[in-house]
Amino acid sequence: MKAVVYTAHGGPENISITTLDDPTPAPGDVLVRVRAVALNGFDPMILKGIPGLKTPMPHIPGGDIAGEVAGFGAGVEGGRWKRGDRVLVNPYVIGRGMMGETARGGACELVSVPATHLVPIPDNVSFTDAAALPVAYGTAMRMMITRGRVARGESVLVLGASGGVGTCCIQLAKLRGCRAIGVTSSAEKAARLLAIGADEVINAGEGDWAKQAVERFGKPRVHGESGGVDVIVNYVGGEDWTKAYRALKRGGRMLTCGATNGYAPPEDIRYLWSFEYELIGSNGWSQEDLGTLLAMASDGRMKPVIDSIRPLDDFLTSYAALADRKVFGKAVLTV
């Protein structure tokens, strides 16, 4: 089969498109013919290498996979799935790891997945829309709803709002009846955030975003009436970690699922007790979340934000756009 392969950790010179043996489905697995695969913020991180995370090389990137059932390992034929069924893959498999991260992903023609890790795609949801959902939207769903408990009337500020997780957080904030505020890095991305429903945007390219937030939403105060926003979604980390405290209302919640710009930022725990902040971590999604997202895509409540759809052969173009921070929403490849 054709596959995109990372041959070693490093830069994009270590990415090639090559031919590999077709996977043989293990007992209990279904062979899926990939129709669409989406990139995530972690795809460049994996190529570079993440301390503490072991990715066996050669590696196939791509954690978001939609396709059709094409074959069966022992024990699953005649069960829930039949050839040609349209399915979305839940890419985290206990015991094997996360596809595209520590296990081989879907930037290729065929993947072997446990039959238990497939979710049916509704007829009116395209492969490309479905492939946009699992990792970024699933993570946003768990972080915002299950863990973050965002509620009607709250103000929710999202840092790095133009990415896969971020654009979904903006949409979920709106669906929950919140005031959605997107912080982004350019005027063009700011305009696109307004177009997908953000109530307000802050262009960090025009100056310190926290200062701009204080000007608009007020200064957090330990006593009396407090300014600031109720919730900050902060998977950027780095210098933006403590900076965010300058914009978070007393009693506010900071949600995180990652650290795009640094996982060990300096902390200032005085803010935590003085302003009684809650820091809430969130990791991954449940398979139920993926079913819910597909149902929302089917009935129109959720429209996956897709930046580009290119053939798999153009992987490097989409990869470069992602690494250069030029993608708005999801970069999807068709296979």
Of 9 and 250, the one with the shorter C-beta distance to ligand NAP is 9
Min separation Cβ 329 and ligand NAP, Å: 8
Residues in contact with ligand NAP, counted by CB under 6 A, come to a total of 28
Tell me which stretch binds ligand NAP (CB under 6 A): 256-264, 265-273, 288-296, 297-305.
Answer: 256-264
- Cα gap 229→224, rounded to integer Å: 15
Nearer to ligand NAP, 302 or 322 (CB): 322
DSSP-assigned letter for residue 121: P
192 binds ligand NAP per the rule CB under 6 A: no
The DSSP letter of residue 146 is I
Binding mask 233-252 for ligand NAP (x = CB under 6 A): --xx----------------
Instruction: Select from 25, 220, 228, 258 the one that contacts ligand NAP (CB under 6 A).
Output: 258
Q: Would you say 48 or 83 has its CB closer to ligand NAP? A: 48
The pairs formed by 318-324 with CB atoms below 8 angstroms and a separation of 24 or more are 318/39, 319/12, 319/15, 319/39, 319/43, 319/44, 320/12, 322/39, 322/41, 322/43, 322/44, 323/12, 323/44
Q: Vertex 284, ends 283 and 286: CA angle to 5°?
A: 125
Among 112, 162, 234, 318, binds ligand NAP (CB under 6 A): 162
Minimum separation from the CB atom of position 276 to ligand NAP (A): 25
Q: Out of 136, 156, 201, 305, name the contact with ligand NAP by CB under 6 A.
A: 136
Identify which of 249, 213, 261, 254 has the alpha carbon closest to the alpha carbon of residue 233: 254
Question: Measured between alpha carbons, how far is 200 from 188 in angstroms, rounded to an integer?
Answer: 14
| Distance of closest approach, residue 192 Cβ to ligand NAP, in angstroms | 10
Residue type, 86: R
Which residue(s) pair with 208 in the sheet? none
Tell me the residue nearest to ligand NAP as measured from the CB.
163
E strand or H helix that includes residue 110: strand 110-114
Contact 335, 60 (CB under 8 A): no
Q: Is 303 in the site for ligand NAP (CB under 6 A)?
A: no
Q: How far is the CB of 203 from ligand NAP (least distance, A)?
A: 9
Please give the backbone phi and psi of residue 224, each rounded to the nearest 5 degrees, phi first.
70, -165
Cβ 70 vs Cβ 83: under 8 Å: yes
- Does 61 contact ligand NAP by CB under 6 A? no
Q: How far is the CB of 322 from ligand NAP (least distance, A)?
A: 6
Does the protein bind ligand NAP through residue 42 (CB under 6 A)? yes
With CB under 6 A as the contact rule, the residue among 32, 110, 165, 173 that binds ligand NAP is: 165
- In the bound complex, what is the minimum distance in angstroms from residue 324's beta carbon to ligand NAP? 9
Q: Does 308 bind ligand NAP (CB under 6 A)?
A: no
Report the Cα 283 to chain-centroid distance in Å: 11
Angle at 97 between CA 30 and CA 144, to 5 degrees: 100
Report the residue number, 8 or 187, with the smaller CB distance to ligand NAP. Answer: 187
d(CA 60, CA 34): 13
Q: State the nearest-atom distance from the C-beta of 235 to ligand NAP, in Å.
A: 4
**What SS3 state is found at 174?**
helix
Let me know: does 201 contact 171? Beta carbons within 8 Å.
no
State the Cα–Cα distance between residues 62 and 113, nearest whole angstrom: 14
Residue 283 engages ligand NAP in binding (rule: CB under 6 A) = yes
228 binds ligand NAP (CB under 6 A): no
* Residue 304 near ligand NAP by CB under 6 A: no
Q: How far is the CB of 11 from ligand NAP (least distance, A)?
A: 16
| Contact residues for ligand NAP, defined by CB under 6 A | 40-42, 135-136, 139, 160-166, 184-185, 189, 235-236, 257-261, 283-284, 322, 325, 327
